[in-house]
A and B are shown apart, each in its own frame.
Chain A
Amino acid sequence: MHSTEKSEAADSRDEWPLWEVFVRSKAGLDHKHSGSLHAPDAKLAIEMARDVYTRRQEGTSIWVVRSDQIVASDPGDKGMYFDPMEDKVYRHPTFYKLPDEVNHM
């Protein structure tokens, strides 16, 4: 699609490559995707991510990944990949009706 072609063209035009930024905040358990930025290398990517994506989050940990390294599922395959989960309701705790006295399980 467009974006990969463009990022290759951009590289040849000496633009800084694109990185995706993931931040775990002080209160959080997971790294969350916060956004993206252009940086020439990993060291500057981390420092810039700290500057622009942790102004309020008291981030305790930052991951940066070059955007062209991310592999994503194809939105066109959404149905094929995820619909099978739709009818497997027995995976949810609420599927099971237990007597009140033990329902706290």
Chain B
Amino acid sequence: MYTQAMDLIPKGDGKPSVPLSATEQQLLDRFEARIDDGAFVEPKDWMPDHYRRTLVRQISQHAHSEIVGMLPEGNWITRAPTLKRKAILLAKVQDEGGHGLYLYAAAETLGVSRDELIDQLHAGKAKYSSIFNYPTLSWADVGVIGWLVDGAAIMNQVPLCRCSYAPYARAMIRICREESFHQRQGYDALLVMMRDGTPRQRDMVQDAVNRWWWPSLMMFGPPDEASNHSEQSMRWGIKRISNDDLRQKFVDATVQQAKVLGVSLPDPELRWNEAREHFDFGPIDWDEFWRVVGGDGPCNRERLADRAQAWDEGAWVREAALAHAAKSTTQRKAA
């Protein structure tokens, strides 16, 4: 799942204002020339500190988003309406765990340890995508998350397959291959309720759409004019398409999907603009976005508490496994 990491770079971590030495400048020029050539950067290549730090933040927060993203859907595993839906939901949540692994592995190639990354998450120093701070109130939410939230994630993730940092690009290729079923299963579940369901079930779907639409649009991050660090990220091939462009693509694709489902999107200003050849849509409540990203969304505290608890309660397993491994090694050496 996506993270808005590049739009949330903390103060004081911009490009260095101290002028570079002649060697450093030469290295930087060569680096930027390689990026312009479309070359990929591997872990052992020289890279600017700022590039490395930006990527550690972006990739680790993307990883955190996958893991935290297992929680809102995990909520419904025991209450899925049929065995088929339960198996599908289990598979999806399992995938998200796997995606977290690919991304943590990619982040670790930049010289940071898993424990450090987990510490940052639990201490509130690292973020995850704002979308996972909303609650899943009904079974329809599970379908809507697949349709809208995974749909938005896919839109963000496809361009990242061409990210200049190769381990991240490779992880994204793997993730994109697996992500498509996530969106399709959600849409499929909603179709069943809209086409074959009762009026109450249809209302339930519409209610879920009403609650998840605007937060899904916020997944693409703040508008371009409010996104100070995008320029540098684009320059270095970390970000390929702007927030607003991606958001527009998503809206354009989703309107038709909503029509087929028979749901309305909760935006009275949503309409086709013939001149632009895109859908116009209403203003997004950026106050809500900054509040939720800043820690004051409906589920922020609960999500972090769940993650910290899982980590703390699992400590004995990690320690026991290591002790067992050490004991086996000693026994083998003695034999």
> Which A residues have a C-beta under 8 Å from some C-beta of B?
1-3, 6, 9-10, 13-16, 18, 35-38, 40-41, 44, 52, 55-56, 74-75
Q: Inside 8 A of A40's CB, which chain B residues have their CB? A: 318, 321-322, 324-325
Rounded to whole angstroms, the CA-CA distance of A26 and B45 in the bound complex is 35
Residue of B nearest to A7 (CB): B113
Identify 15 new A-B residue pairs, CB closer than 8 A, beyond the known A38-B114, A75-B42: A1-B43, A2-B110, A2-B111, A3-B109, A10-B113, A13-B115, A35-B105, A37-B101, A40-B322, A41-B325, A41-B328, A55-B94, A55-B98, A55-B178, A75-B44
Does B253 sit at the interface, judged by CB under 8 A? Answer: no
Rounded to whole angstroms, the CA-CA distance of A19 and B94 in the bound complex is 20
Does B244 sit at the interface, judged by CB under 8 A? Answer: no
Does B252 sit at the interface, judged by CB under 8 A? Answer: no
Q: Inside 8 A of B42's CB, which chain A residues have their CB? A: 75
A6 touches B101 (CB 8 A): no
Q: Is the interface of B mostly helix, strand, loop or mixed?
A: helix
For residue A22, give the distance in angstroms from its CB to the closest CB of chain B: 14
Give 29 CB contacts A-B under 8 Å.
A1-B44, A2-B110, A3-B109, A6-B112, A6-B113, A10-B113, A13-B113, A14-B318, A14-B322, A15-B113, A15-B115, A16-B321, A35-B102, A35-B105, A36-B105, A38-B114, A40-B318, A40-B322, A40-B324, A41-B321, A41-B324, A52-B97, A52-B98, A52-B101, A55-B94, A55-B178, A56-B178, A74-B44, A75-B42
Q: Inside 8 A of B44's CB, which chain A residues have their CB? A: 1, 74-75
Does B95 sit at the interface, judged by CB under 8 A? Answer: yes
Sorting the interface of chain B by its residue count into under 10, 10 to 19, 20 to 34 or 35 or more gives 20 to 34
Known: A1-B44, A10-B115, A40-B321. A18 touches B178 (CB 8 A): no
Known: A35-B102, A35-B105, A37-B101. A14 touches B113 (CB 8 A): no
Contacting B174 at CB < 8 Å: which of A1, A16, A35? A35
Interface string of B90-126 (1 = CB under 8 A from A): 0100110110011001001111111100000000000
Known: A16-B318, A16-B321, A75-B45. A9 touches B101 (CB 8 A): no
Q: Inside 8 A of B174's CB, which chain A residues have their CB? A: 35
Does B269 sit at the interface, judged by CB under 8 A? Answer: no
Interface residues of B in 256-281 (CB under 8 A from A): none
For residue A77, give the distance in angstroms from its CB to the closest CB of chain B: 11
Known: A35-B174, A40-B322. A6 touches B45 (CB 8 A): no
Residue of A nearest to B102 (CB): A35
For residue B27, give the distance in angstroms from its CB to the closest CB of chain A: 13
Interface string of B13-44 (1 = CB under 8 A from A): 00000000000000000000000000000111
For residue B108, give the distance in angstroms from its CB to the closest CB of chain A: 7
